[in-house]
């Protein structure tokens, strides 16, 4: 049985397989793990393991039925995705997240933002609504939102977290540089942009000099 880490890593790669199959024109009747691996610069063994999570193994010397494999990938990504999400904190980072289209590849759509600053209210350039924070709870409960994003300053992050939990959100993606108190039954993932950049900068010293 796979451990949780490998399971998550597989799920992260699934959209890459789906997008590759979508891009094929004309689309072949069958496709092999080796051809997918070559196209995406992955190891063939890794591709076979990942696709086994979706639909089992391909047929020897034949591979996978392309349309069936694509359908299974679409099904898994759609079924496992959290669906709709909301965001609290519509500053520069928040608005960038609201209008980022790449989340749809993982079955997620940040459908609205909420803020206490009336200057932030209205539509983003991408057409997403930013509403008053008082509208958060009724919005989430009406649409059964389970996933929330926090992109407020650290001093307001716990308050934002509490509001999301009260609204029924059970999974939180936090961009505030702080640690939050959450109740049982709620999961959280922290994203520290400054720390990530600092780690990348530190690793520059490990690189061989460019010739």
Of 79, 96, 113, the one marking the end of a domain is: 79
50 pLDDT tier (thresholds 50, 70, 90)? very high
**Do 176 and 127 share a structural domain?**
yes
Q: Identify the sign of the CA torsion 159, 163, 166, 172.
A: negative
**Do 155 and 109 share a structural domain?**
yes
Domain span including residue 184: 83-197
Examine the pLDDT at 32 and tell me if it is beyond 80. Answer: yes
For residue 120, CA distances in Å to 26, 29, 191, 195 come to 46, 50, 23, 27
Question: Nearest-CA neighbor of 105 among 202, 169, 22?
Answer: 22
103 pLDDT tier (thresholds 50, 70, 90)? confident
Find where tokens 């990504």 sit: 77
Count how many domains the chain has. 2
User: Is 207 a domain residue?
Assistant: no
Judged by average pLDDT, the poorest of 5-14, 75-84, 120-129, 194-203 is 75-84
User: Is 208 a domain residue?
Assistant: no
Of 79, 104, 127, the one marking the end of a domain is: 79
Examine the pLDDT at 176 and tell me if it is beyond 90. Answer: yes
144 pLDDT tier (thresholds 50, 70, 90)? very high
6 pLDDT tier (thresholds 50, 70, 90)? low
Sequence-ordered alpha helix ranges (H) in the chain:
4-23, 33-40, 44-55, 66-80, 92-99, 136-143, 154-166, 193-203
**Do 61 and 148 share a structural domain?**
no
For residue 171, give the CATH number of its domain.
Answer: 3.40.50.720
For residue 42, give the CATH number of its domain.
Answer: 1.10.10.10
**Do 106 and 10 share a structural domain?**
no
DSSP state of 27: P
Examine the pLDDT at 58 and tell me if it is beyond 60. Answer: yes
Element (H, E) at 112: strand 108-115
**Do 30 and 9 share a structural domain?**
yes
Average pLDDT over residues 48-74: 86
**Do 111 and 72 share a structural domain?**
no
**Do 94 and 57 share a structural domain?**
no
Separation of CA 145 from chain center: 15
Assigned token pair, 126: 């991408």
User: Is 203 a domain residue?
Assistant: no
What is the reported pLDDT for 193? 86
pLDDT digits (tens, 9 = 90+) for 122-136: 999 999 999 999 999
**Do 90 and 70 share a structural domain?**
no
**Do 61 and 44 share a structural domain?**
yes
What is the reported pLDDT for 175? 95
**Do 73 and 90 share a structural domain?**
no
CB contact at 8 A, 126 and 111: no
User: Is 202 a domain residue?
Assistant: no
Of 45, 79, 113, the one marking the end of a domain is: 79
Within 8 A by CB and 6+ apart from 125, the residues are 95, 99
């Amino acid at each position: 049985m796979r451990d949780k880490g490998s399971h998550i890593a597989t799920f992260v790669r699934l959209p890459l397989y789906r997008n590759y199959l979508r891009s094929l024109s004309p689309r072949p009747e069958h496709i092999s793990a080796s051809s997918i691996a070559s196209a995406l610069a992955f190891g063939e063994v890794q591709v076979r393991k990942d696709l086994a999570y979706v639909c089992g193994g391909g047929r020897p010397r034949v591979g996978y039925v392309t349309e069936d494999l694509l359908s299974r990938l679409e099904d898994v990504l759609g079924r496992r995705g959290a669906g709709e999400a909301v965001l609290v904190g519509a500053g520069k980072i928040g608005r960038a997240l609201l209008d980022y289209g790449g989340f749809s590849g993982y079955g997620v759509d940040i459908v609205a933002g909420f803020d206490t600053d009336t200057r932030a209210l209205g539509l983003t350039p991408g057409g997403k609504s930013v509403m008053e924070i008082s509208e958060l709870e009724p919005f989430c409960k009406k649409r059964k939102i389970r996933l929330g994003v926090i992109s407020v300053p650290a001093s307001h992050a716990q308050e934002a977290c509490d509001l999301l939990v009260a609204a029924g959100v059970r999974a939180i993606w936090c961009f505030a540089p702080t640690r939050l108190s959450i109740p049982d039954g709620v999961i959280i993932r922290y994203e520290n942009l400054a720390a990530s950049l600092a780690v990348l900068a530190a690793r520059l010293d490990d690189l061989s000099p460019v010739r």
